[in-house]
Amino acid sequence: MMGSNDKPQDELFYAFNLDEIVPQDHLLRDIDRVLDLSNLREHLAPFYSHTGRPSIDPELMIRMLLIGYCCGIRSERQLCYEVTMNLAYRWFCKLKITDKVPDHSTFSKNRHGRFRDSEVFRFVFEQVLKRCMEEGLIGAEGFAVDASVVRADASKQKHQEDDDDWGGGSRAINEYLDSIAADGAPATPPKKVSQTDPMARWTAVLGGPAYYAYSTNYLVDTDNGIIVDVEATPALRTPEVWSTKTMIERVQDRFGIEVKRLIGDTAYGTAEFLGWMVNEAGIEPHVPVWDRGNEMAGRFGRSNFMYDEQTDSYTCPSGKELRRFWRNFNKPRTGVTKANEIKYRSRKQDCDACPMKEQCCPSTDYRKITRSVHEPARDVARAIRKTPAYRRTRRQRKQVEMLFAHMKRILKVDRLRLRGMSGAQDEFLLTATAQNLRRMAKVLGTGPPGIRKMAVA
C-alpha cells in the first residue's frame, strides 16, 4: 500500500533542539571544536561606542563569514539566506531557530569601518594559528613560499586614460590616490590602470588573456600544510618575492617562529633575495638559482670559467685571466654596476690568439663574465641543490600549490569581490583562516575517516 504525507501541519509547539539535529561528524562541529573567539570582543572593544543601542554581536558576523569562506559561499546575500535556511549553519553561529539573521549590508558597514581599522581578520587568523601551534601542527623549521594570481573585481575593457581626473572617487580609488601621495608614483608606470580598482595590476598568466589581478602570497609549514602567514601584493614578481621577507619577520616577531629552511621556485632565486636569506636572515635556501648566464648550445657558459677568490679573477678554459680592470686608475673604482653586478673581461690579444674563440666569443673581441655581488649566497644555493635533502624539499613545495588549487576550485576564491589592496588583504586572510580551520578539522576531527577526508576535499 502506497503511503502519503498529506497530513496538515497543525502542530502549534515543537520540541526542538538544534544540537541534536546537527550530525556529530559534520565539518562545522569539528571546526567549532578548534575555533576560539573568546578574545574577539576584548580586541574590538576600543572600536565600539560605550553608549547607544547594542550592536550585532561581532562574533556572529565573524562566524557567518567563516561559514561563507569554508563552504564556498561567495555572496553575502546568499550567505544570509543560507544561514537562515540551514540548521547546521544556525548551530555554528549560535542562533536559535527563531533568531533573525543580520542583513547583508551589516557586513559592508562593519568591514569598511571597525573591522578594517582593528585588523580583526588578521586577529582571527592569528588566533587560529596559535591553536595550530598549541596542537603541535607546526614544525617551526621548514617552510615553503609561493604566490598565486587572483582576478580583481575590475573590467578588462575599462581603463583610466587620465591619471589626474578620477571623478568622485570610490574607496578603492581613494586608497590608490593615498598610496601615491604617501609613496609617490611607481618608477615604472603600469601599462594600464583600471577605472574601478586602480591598485590591481594588468597581468597575464603564461598563454592566457590579460586581466587585472592581485597576488596572494602564502608562507606554509611543510609538516602539516598550515599557512603561517599570508600577504596581498600587486601581481608583480618583485613585490611577491619581497613579501616573503615581510611574512618571515612578522611570524618571528609575533610568534617566535624562526624559519631555518625556505623552499621556493625560481622566482625566489634572485641574487638580492638569496643574499638576504643567506647573509642577513641565516636561512638555508632550497630554491633554484635564477641564473642568466651565457649558457648556449656549443658555447662556453659561466660554469666553464673558474673563479679565484684570492686574485678576484676568472680563468677561462684555455687558461687566460678575466679581470675587473686591466689598468690602474687615479681614483679607486669598485666596478660594481647599478644592478649590483661586477663585469670581468679578458684581453683582446688573448682572445685573438685563442683556438677556442669560436666556442667562447665568436662575435666579440673579448669575453665578458658578469658576477653578482651576492654570488657567494648563490653558490650556497647551488651547493644545496646537489644534496638529497633538496630533492625531498622539491616534493614538499607542492603543498603550497595544492592550497592554491583548493582555494580556487573548492572555496571558489578565483575572483575577488572586494576592491583595493585592503579588500584583497581581507579576502586572502579569511581564505587562509578557512583553510587552516579545515586542515585542523581533518587532523584533529572526531568524525569517521570518510567524513574527515571531505574536510580538505
246-266: pLDDT as tens digits: 999 999 999 999 999 999 999
Q: Is the pLDDT score of 119 beyond 80?
A: yes
Residue 101, SS3? coil
Mean pLDDT of the chain: 87
Q: pLDDT (tens digit, 9 = 90+) per residue, 165-187?
A: 676 678 888 888 888 878 766 66
pLDDT for 282? 93
Instruction: Report the run of H or E that residue 106 belongs to, with start and end.
Output: helix 105-110
pLDDT score at 64:
95
Q: Which of 61-65, 74-78, 98-102, 205-209 has the lowest mean pLDDT?
A: 205-209
Residue 1 amino acid letter: M
- 284-286 and 261-263 beta bridge pairing: parallel
131 Cβ contact list (under 8 Å, min separation 6): 34, 35, 36, 440
d(CA 275, CA 231): 22
Q: Please state the rounded mean pLDDT for residues 195-200.
A: 89
Looking at residue 455, what is its pLDDT?
A: 43
pLDDT, tens digit, 9 for 90 and up, residues 363-396? 888 999 888 899 999 999 999 999 999 999 988 8
Least confident of 88-92, 136-140, 381-385, 429-433: 136-140
Residue 303 has a pLDDT of 82
Residues 6+ apart with CB under 8 A from 17: none
Give the tens place of pLDDT for each residue, 263-312: 999 999 999 999 999 999 999 999 999 887 556 667 888 888 999 888 88
- Our CA angle for 197, 199, 201, nearest 5°, is 100
Pairwise CA distance, residues 385 & 291, whole Å: 14
Q: What is the DSSP letter of 456?
A: G
Q: All 3 cell numbers of residue 138?
A: 607546526
For the cut 50, the answer to whether the pLDDT of residue 457 exceeds it is no
Question: 295: helix, coil or strand?
Answer: coil
**pLDDT value for 179:** 84
Picking from 98, 93, 87, the residue whose alpha carbon sits closest to that of residue 22 is: 87
**Winning range, highest mean pLDDT, from 149-163, 171-185, 408-422:** 408-422
Percent above pLDDT 70 for the chain: 90
Distance from the Cα of residue 138 to its chain's centroid: 18
pLDDT band at 451 (very low <50, low <70, confident <90, very high): very low
- Find the mean pLDDT for residues 217-245: 94
Q: What is the pLDDT of residue 241?
A: 94
Q: What is the helix (H) or strand (E) element at residue 239, kind and residue range?
A: helix 237-255
CA 285 to CA 263: how far, in whole Å?
A: 7
Residue with cell 562593519: 110
- Averaged pLDDT for residues 142-162: 88
| 65-86 mean pLDDT | 94
**CB-CB neighbours of 339 under 10 Å:** 10
Query: 27-34 and 58-70 are packed helices; what angle lies between their axes, rounded to 10 degrees?
Result: 130
pLDDT score for 452: 42
Q: In whole angstroms, give the CA distance from residue 171 to residue 183.
A: 18
Among 74-78, 206-210, 258-262, 373-377, the range scoring the smallest mean pLDDT is 206-210
Closest by CA to 93, choosing from 8, 18, 154, is 18
What band does 450 get if pLDDT is binned at 50, 70 and 90?
very low
Residue type present at position 407 = M
Q: What is the pLDDT of residue 456?
A: 44
What's the confidence (pLDDT) of residue 406?
95
Q: Would you give the DSSP letter of residue 177?
A: H
So what's the pLDDT on residue 61? Answer: 94
Q: Return the amino acid letter for 329.
A: F
Q: Where are the beta strands (DSSP E) in 181-226?
A: 201-204, 210-221
Q: Are 322 and 284 in contact (CB under 8 A)?
A: no
Sign of CA dihedral 441, 445, 449, 450: negative
